[in-house]
A and B are shown apart, each in its own frame.
Chain A
Amino acid sequence: MAVDVPASSSDADQRFDDTEVRVADRSPVAAEAAGVSRGAAQRGSVTRVVTPTISVRKRLHEIWLSRELLIYLVRTEIKVKYKNSVLGLVWSMVAPAMTLAIYFFVFSILLDNKMPNFVIYLFAGLLLWNLFQLGVLTGTGVVVNNAGIVKKVSFPREILALAAVGSACVFFFFQSIVMVIFMVILRAPPDPAYFPLLIVALIAGVILASGLAVLLSSINVYLRDTQHLIEVVLTAWFWACPIVYSYQTVEAKLGPRHLTWLYLANPMTPLILAFQRCLYNKPSAVINGKLTLILPQHGYLWYAGLVGIVLVIGVVLFLVALATFGRLEGNFAEEL
């Protein structure tokens, strides 16, 4: 008779012996040897459940738990972006500086815009816009571009979109430093009273960008046009915001027809206005001996109210985006 025939009985015994060994090996020493610090006690205690859909609340919780991953991904994103480039992060400042220079040249010199400290005005708007645009633009493509990871590893995938916005925040930070330098050189002090509002506006902008990035990144998996469409939309969106022109030039045209609300319906407008109100700090200026209005002439509450509304819109959008992402996420691994 061959060795392998008396299988069932003795094999079962063998297996039983193995089990004994396993139990012994679960000692903290064995775990330590395997490189675990948390010890064997915790092993097997966490139960993860994969379900058809994950509730938005659970998603938020998971995002919170993955914050370390988020930070890591932001770092990676920046690292990948400037891989093999000599100047690296400097590029993140060169490109906006170039935009700034061009707009300044066109509007201030060619079109003879006499707005005082026009660079500061431009920069104040561009700061926030660049954050928003970069976050949404890179965020949209992020699931498709990270297919290699999305298809293989399970993690809260919306983190990828958030990391795109996160890296845009890093660039925002660098550009802010340049902004401060400009303000010091040009002796254009900001309005400290509006600082808290600027912070809230920044938060609202980040949430808005995150919501859009999460939403579009999931749609982009199924409709790859999204990526190209959003580029076009963002270009139009840019001109719909009072960045290179002043709010009052639009107000002058729309105000008499009571259509200003339409202009303010663009959620980026109130945020950019808040930035300008704080950093540019010149609601009106005397240009060519004539008092010219630049920013809305309303008080703090008007600004705060609008920013507050945008914040609420942003939060709602973000939650809707998470829910949509959750519905679409289930088949990512197959669609990519």
Chain B
Amino acid sequence: MSDFAVDVRDVSKRFRLAHGQYKTVKERLIHGGKRKSTEDFWALDGVSLTVKEGETVGILGRNGSGKSTLLKCICGVLQPTKGEVAVRGKLAGLLELGAGFQQDLTGRENIYLNGSLMGMAKRDVDRVFDAIVDFSELEEFIDGPVKFYSSGMYVRLGFAVAVNMDPDVLVIDEVLAVGDERFQRKCIGRVKEFQKEGRTILLVTHAPDTVRSICDRGVVLSHGHLVGEGEPGEATRIFREGLMAEGAGMAVADPTLVAVPAMPMAVGMDSVPDTDRPVRFRSVHRVYSGDNSVPYMSTGDDLTIRVEFEALDPTPDVVFSLEIRDFVNNMVMRTDTSIIGMSIDAPRGISVMHFGIVKMPLLDGTFTFAMGIQSRDGILYDWQESAGTFAVMNPGKTTGLVRMDVHAALISTESDVDSSAALA
């Protein structure tokens, strides 16, 4: 059954990156019509994507991954270099901060202009005009030129126009992030209404949480290629993995092994020569309880941190501390073995200890952990500021930082009780 709403068929888009192109006739003439060297850049490279009718698809990708270019091709604002896009039904798009408005015209005139650009007759626009003004909450400003609008007003009007033009396919690029929170909620509410009405929605976002909470399906773009698609959770995971693989100084080669370097000293620590430390780290591994073939754990899995340490002499009462931080270095948790209520006497030589975190409550993200070894009275033997990282992928639809057990129940109201009593 070919019930597609948007069918992207092997679309490629090439841009010529000119290294300072000759833009004026004079420059062209002077350089004898020669073009400066150009470099081909494929913003999209053989992307195929079918969006079924009534589906909500989120497109994830980093900056420059080709998301916006793809949306522009779908909207028909840009034409692909190769391939084609078929769109069934009327399409309304909100590309990068709002609709296309003519600065000198008033809001009212722009509503009509947009309507006719989308192929609507005047009387059709008449019919939805009040709804647009209502939704955008711009009653007082609708007869003022849009060049005097604030950016928030601009986006509001753009969104209101797009959703009220009765599109079959709604394409939204990142606009949900603009506007105040209340309006954002209103927009998301409207998007959800659209979903219920069986309209197709395509949205681009950097925020995996949006995909998770709104979309039926997510696709991930990276460097112009479609690198993954699937359930929102799965897509989010692929997106995060891609982010990790690409950088931010994350360990990639063997993410489970965090070799302890020859001790760059933590601030405020006595510079005890490496060999003089009574107790020191040798290596830190982290082990996920789940599927070990993937470089992440799922929320609810267990995490084990395996620490190999070495003591020069038998040292009594050693305390191991563990700090977990999120990607912006907020402390998520700090604990140590003395808090846990455990005392460790380190024997001479190499030993191994484990920290185990049972049923990881954290949702999505990559977390770093710091570890320290100290004596019970606070003398720091060794400290690893970034002892390792672990990544958590949330398979469910909850968003936020941690998972909590949430139950919901409908408690019958008094009238229900009455009526059921009456029935009985």
Residues of A within 8 A of B196 (CB): 18, 21-22, 25
Residues of B within 8 A of A48 (CB): 76, 86-88, 91
The A1-53 residues at the B interface (CB cut-off 8 A) are 1-5, 7-8, 11, 15, 18-19, 21-23, 25-26, 30, 34-37, 43-53
Contact indicator A50/B74 (Cβ below 8 Å): yes
Say whether, besides A11-B397, A44-B168, A68-B121, A22 and B95 are in contact (CB < 8 Å).
no
In the complex, what distance in Å separates the CA atom of A53 from the CA atom of B117?
20
Contact indicator B116/A51 (Cβ below 8 Å): no
- Which residue of the partner chain, among B102, B166, B396, contacts A35 with CB atoms under 8 Å? B166
Is A233 an interface position by the 8 A CB rule? no
Question: How many chain A residues touch the partner (CB < 8 A)?
Answer: 63
Is B336 an interface position by the 8 A CB rule? no
- Which residue of the partner chain, among A1, A44, A65, A68, contacts B116 with CB atoms under 8 Å? A68
- Which residue of the partner chain, among A7, A23, A334, contacts B395 with CB atoms under 8 Å? A7
Contact indicator A35/B85 (Cβ below 8 Å): no
Is B100 an interface position by the 8 A CB rule? yes
Interface residues on B, range: 35 or more
Contact indicator A330/B79 (Cβ below 8 Å): yes
Contact indicator A50/B166 (Cβ below 8 Å): no
Residues of A within 8 A of B109 (CB): 76, 79
Is A293 an interface position by the 8 A CB rule? no
Is B26 an interface position by the 8 A CB rule? yes
Contact indicator B79/A52 (Cβ below 8 Å): yes
Question: Which residue of A is nearest B126, CB measured?
Answer: A35
B16 to chain A, nearest CB (A): 8
- Which residue of the partner chain, among A34, A150, A225, contacts B24 with CB atoms under 8 Å? A225
Is B53 an interface position by the 8 A CB rule? yes
Contact indicator A72/B113 (Cβ below 8 Å): yes
Contact indicator A46/B88 (Cβ below 8 Å): yes
Question: Which residue of B is nearest A147, CB measured?
Answer: B100
- The digit string for A53-93, where 1 denotes a CB below 8 A from any CB of B, is 11000000000011011001100100110010000000000
Residues of B within 8 A of A186 (CB): none
- The digit string for B365-400, where 1 denotes a CB below 8 A from any CB of A, is 000000000000000000000000000001111100
Contact indicator A153/B77 (Cβ below 8 Å): yes
Contact indicator B76/A331 (Cβ below 8 Å): no
In the complex, what distance in Å separates the CA atom of A95 from the CA atom of B396?
69
Question: Which residue of A is nearest B52, CB measured?
Answer: A19
Contact indicator A151/B100 (Cβ below 8 Å): yes
Contact indicator A151/B197 (Cβ below 8 Å): no
Contact indicator B166/A72 (Cβ below 8 Å): no
A128 to chain B, nearest CB (A): 29
Contact indicator A53/B84 (Cβ below 8 Å): no
A43 to chain B, nearest CB (A): 6
In the complex, what distance in Å separates the CA atom of A241 from the CA atom of B11?
49
B305 to chain A, nearest CB (A): 23
Contact indicator B78/A330 (Cβ below 8 Å): yes
In the complex, what distance in Å separates the CA atom of A301 from the CA atom of B196?
68
Residues of B within 8 A of A35 (CB): 124, 127-128, 131, 164, 166
In the complex, what distance in Å separates the CA atom of A43 from the CA atom of B198?
11
Question: Which residue of B is nearest A25, CB measured?
Answer: B197
B51 to chain A, nearest CB (A): 12
Contact indicator A153/B99 (Cβ below 8 Å): yes
Question: Which residue of A is nearest B95, CB measured?
Answer: A152
Say whether, besides A25-B198, A44-B5, A8 and B231 are in contact (CB < 8 Å).
yes
- The digit string for A318-336, where 1 denotes a CB below 8 A from any CB of B, is 0000000000011111100
Is B80 an interface position by the 8 A CB rule? yes
B211 to chain A, nearest CB (A): 14
- The digit string for B57-68, where 1 denotes a CB below 8 A from any CB of A, is 000000000000
B176 to chain A, nearest CB (A): 17
- The digit string for B116-141, where 1 denotes a CB below 8 A from any CB of A, is 11110110100110010000000000
B253 to chain A, nearest CB (A): 32
Residues of B within 8 A of A235 (CB): none
Question: Which residue of B is nearest A46, CB measured?
Answer: B89
Is A146 an interface position by the 8 A CB rule? yes
In the complex, what distance in Å separates the CA atom of A332 from the CA atom of B78?
7
Contact indicator B197/A34 (Cβ below 8 Å): yes
- The digit string for A113-126, where 1 denotes a CB below 8 A from any CB of B, is 00000000000000
Contact indicator B100/A148 (Cβ below 8 Å): yes
Is A288 an interface position by the 8 A CB rule? no
In the complex, what distance in Å separates the CA atom of A151 from the CA atom of B406?
46
- The digit string for A148-192, where 1 denotes a CB below 8 A from any CB of B, is 111111110000000000000000000000000000000000000
B329 to chain A, nearest CB (A): 27
Say whether, besides A72-B113, A225-B25, A330-B78, A149 and B100 are in contact (CB < 8 Å).
yes
Is A223 an interface position by the 8 A CB rule? yes
Residues of A within 8 A of B81 (CB): 52, 330
Residues of B within 8 A of A223 (CB): 23-25, 28
What are 28 A-B pairs with beta-carbon distances under 8 A? A2-B396, A2-B404, A2-B405, A3-B396, A3-B408, A4-B398, A18-B195, A19-B54, A22-B198, A26-B197, A48-B91, A50-B84, A51-B79, A52-B84, A68-B121, A69-B119, A76-B102, A148-B100, A151-B95, A152-B93, A152-B98, A153-B100, A153-B114, A154-B93, A222-B23, A223-B24, A224-B23, A330-B80
With A65-B119, A222-B23, A223-B28 known, 14 other A-B pairs at CB within 8 A are A2-B299, A2-B403, A4-B395, A45-B88, A47-B86, A69-B116, A76-B109, A148-B100, A148-B103, A151-B95, A153-B118, A154-B93, A224-B23, A330-B81
Closest 3 CB pairs of A and B: A4-B396, A22-B198, A152-B100
Query: B-side interface residues toward A, CB under 8 Å?
Result: 5, 15, 23-26, 28, 53-54, 72-91, 93, 95, 98-105, 109, 112-114, 116-119, 121-122, 124, 127-128, 131, 164, 166, 168, 195-198, 216, 231, 233, 299-300, 394-398, 403-408
